[in-house]
Structure 1
Amino acid sequence: MATWEDLAEFVRAEYQLAEDEDTEYRIIEDSGEEIRILVEYDDNRSQIVILCREVLDGREDWVQVVSVVGRADEIDLRKLLEEIGQTSVVCGAVIIGDHVVLRHSLPLVNLDINEFTDPLNFVAETADHLEELLLGGDDH
C-alpha cells in the first residue's frame, strides 16, 4: 500500500462503510479524504472508525485512524487516561471539538496491510471498551 487511493480501494472492498449523512461530528471538512467504516461486534455493539488522509509537510501521505469515545463533558478524563495507560499500546486520546477520540496515525509509504488492519481493530475495540466502561453504552 503506497497511496491514499490504494488504501481507500482496499477499505471499500474489505470493510462495511458507515452511513455519512447523519453526522454531528467531523474530523475534517468535506474534502473527500475521509472514509467511515462500521465495525460490528457479536454482542450487538458497534463502533464507527474514521479514516482521514493527512499530508505532512506537503509531501508525505499518512492515514489517521480515529474513533469517538463520547462527549468530553460526559467522560471522567482521569479515568479514561488511567484506563488507556493500563490497557493500550496503540493510539492516543485527544479532544476534537466536543468529543474525546482515540487516534492513531500511520505513514502510507511502504505500509503493510497488517500495519493498518491491526491498529484499526485495536482503536475500534479500545474506543468501544472505553465507551462501555465510561458511558455505559453506545448511544452517547
Structure 2
Amino acid sequence: MSRMATWEDLVTYIRRSYEVIRVEPDEIRINIRWGTEEDEEERTQMVVVAREVLDGQEWVQLAAPFARVDEVALHAVLSEIGNTTVVGGAVVMGDYLVFRHSLPLVNLDINEFVDPLELVTGSADLLERHFIGRDDY
C-alpha cells in the first residue's frame, strides 16, 4: 500500500506498523520507541494521530506532547523550535506543550506520513530531553 485514500486506510497501516496505545473514531495514539546506545536509556514518544476536517477536506494531525506548560520557559522553547526545526510547531493544548504538524489526507503516500511522523516525534523527544530532562511522554 503506497497511497492511503481514507482515514481507515491510514489507521490500518498504523495498527500494522506501530505500537498502538488507544484507538477512537477520529484518533489513534501510538508510542514510538528509539533504540539506544549502550550508555543511554531507551526513549519513547507518544504521538496522537487525529483526523481533522477543514473546509470539507480531511487532514491528518500529528501531535506529540513534550512538556507541561508550567514547567518550561515558553520563550526559550519557542526560540529553540524556531532555530532548530523545519517541520511543525509548538502549541498549547490544555496543560501541555505539544509539537504538532498537519498533512492533507487526500492522496497521502506512506512516506508523506512516515517522514513527518518521525520528524514530529523526534523533535518532541529532543525538546522534552532538552527542557525537562526526563522521558515522560
TM-score when scaled to structure 2?
A: 0.89
**Counterparts of 1:129 and 1:32, CA distance in 2:** 30
- 1:62 lines up with 2:63 in the alignment: no
Structure 2 unpaired stretches of 5+: 37-41
Counterpart of 1:95 in structure 2 is: 92
Q: Which moved more, 1:95-104 or 1:31-40?
A: 31-40
Counterpart of 1:7 in structure 2 is: 10
Residue 110 of structure 1 deviates from its aligned partner by 1.0
Amino acid at match of 1:79: A
Amino acid at match of 1:75: V
| Superposition map of 1:54-133 within 5 A | 54-57=52-55, 59-133=56-130
Amino acid at match of 1:33: D
Of residues 45, 50, 53, the one that matches 1:52 is 50
Residue 31 of structure 1 deviates from its aligned partner by 5.3
Of residues 38, 42, 48, the one that matches 2:35 is 42
Residue 122 of structure 1 deviates from its aligned partner by 0.6
What does the per-residue CA deviation read over 1:37-74, in whole Å, with 9 as the maximum and x for residues that have no partner? 110112311000110000112x2111100000110010
CA RMSD of aligned residues (A): 1.4
**Counterparts of 1:65 and 1:139, CA distance in 2:** 18
Q: Which runs of 4+ in 1 moved over 2 A?
A: none
Number of residue pairs matched by the alignment: 129
Residue 99 of structure 1 deviates from its aligned partner by 0.5
**Counterparts of 2:84 and 2:59, CA distance in 1:** 25
Helix, strand or coil: the match of 2:108? Answer: coil
- 1:32 lines up with 2:35 in the alignment: no
Structure 1 unpaired stretches of 5+: 21-29
TM-score when scaled to structure 1?
A: 0.87
**Counterparts of 1:102 and 1:95, CA distance in 2:** 9
1 or 2, which has the higher strand percentage? 2
% identity of equivalent residues = 51
